[in-house]
Amino acid sequence: MSVIFRNEEIFPYPERFNPERFLDEKNELQQQKMIPFGVGRRACMGEGLAKTEIFLIIANLFKTYKITPATEGGTAPTDPVAEFRGLPTPQTVRVSLREGGCMLTYLLMSESIKFT
């Protein structure tokens, strides 16, 4: 896959760090040019593990922290707007520790890891 991402016809100056190369003129993600795990026989063997790890990390964040809109009173706007785009838009949120979230995580970790 690294050879594909170094093709100068598709990605000018492939050796330069330029994350914007995956965006089009409207700053939308170019889906046809982004293949992070490869395909076919040369597909990444760790794709399933990577996706599972990402899911577990995000689930743990939501379990440990309460994320609310950063508006006055912490209430959601009356007109929520759902947009599905290639790139997320910045949002202002308030993050607070859930009651017992940190301690629960510590206790679960200490119980599951035993040194002999």
Known binding residues for heme are: 44
Please state the separation of Cα 104 from the chain's center in Å. 24
Please state the separation of Cα 94 from the chain's center in Å. 19
What number of CA atoms fall less than 13 Å from residue 60's CA on the CB side? 13
Cβ contact 29:23 at 8 Å: yes
Compute the distance between CA of residue 57 and CA of residue 51 in angstroms, rounded to an integer.
10
Annotated binding residues: 44
| Farthest-apart Cα atoms in the chain, separation | 58
Residue that the structure tokens 């076919």 belong to: 40
